[in-house]
Amino acid sequence: MATQQLTIPMFPLNMVLLPGETKTLHIFEERYKQLVTDCLLNDAHFGIPFINQKSMCNYGIEVKISNVIKKYENGEMDIAIEGIRAFKLIEFSQVLPPKLYGAGVIQYEEDIFEKPSHFLQEITKEYMWISQQQIIPIDAFDHSNVYGIARLLDLSPIEKYELLSAEDVKAKEEFLKPKIKLFIHLVKTENDLKSKFVLN
């Protein structure tokens, strides 16, 4: 079901954040120094549409500035951001006068409240154990969702984008399941090779 459309400032990057994921950015371009300053003054968020091979993609993530880590004498900044909500980019303007930065008309994806399926939880727990010897509590995903599981995985920007752009929770789960199974297979194969190397 479609949600309402709205316009937010845009900071296109060759990067994909998932909801709940954090990242540090160094802000040096004048237009984005202005964008960050405006967001801080107005307690506003901005959007990061994914740039892949110099082309802007149709999906991105709304982020909030959680902390200004450092301010430099020349106006540059290091900021910490957190992914809030995925969106579909409906329209993009490179510059939105009188501002230096651009903006986009977006449509949010539906809020995802569902707890991950039992099968997805189980294979994620298996992956975390064989890859990091980390035991995940039985109730670890009670207040999580499919993005909570995805944040535990070492997904590439392209894979994160494919997850964001999947149309609903079921599609997102179906995208993740073979990824996790592959990760499990690769880790097991690596561990077997290490074991044989030691034995020889």
Task: Provide the H-helix boundaries in 80-168.
Answer: 118-132, 146-150, 157-165
Q: Which residue has the higher pLDDT, 48 or 137?
A: 48
Q: Rounded to whole angstroms, how far apart are CA atoms 70 and 3?
A: 36
Averaged over 131-144, what is the pLDDT?
A: 84
pLDDT in tens, 80-112: 999 999 999 999 999 989 999 999 999 999 888
Rounded to the nearest integer, the mean pLDDT of the chain is 92
Residue 2 has a pLDDT of: 52
Residue 155 has a pLDDT of: 95
3-state secondary structure string, 144-187? CCHHHHHCCCCCCHHHHHHHHHCCCHHHHHHHHHHHHHHHHHHH
Domains and CATH numbers, the chain: 5-108 (2.30.130.40), 118-199 (no CATH)
pTM of the model: 0.88
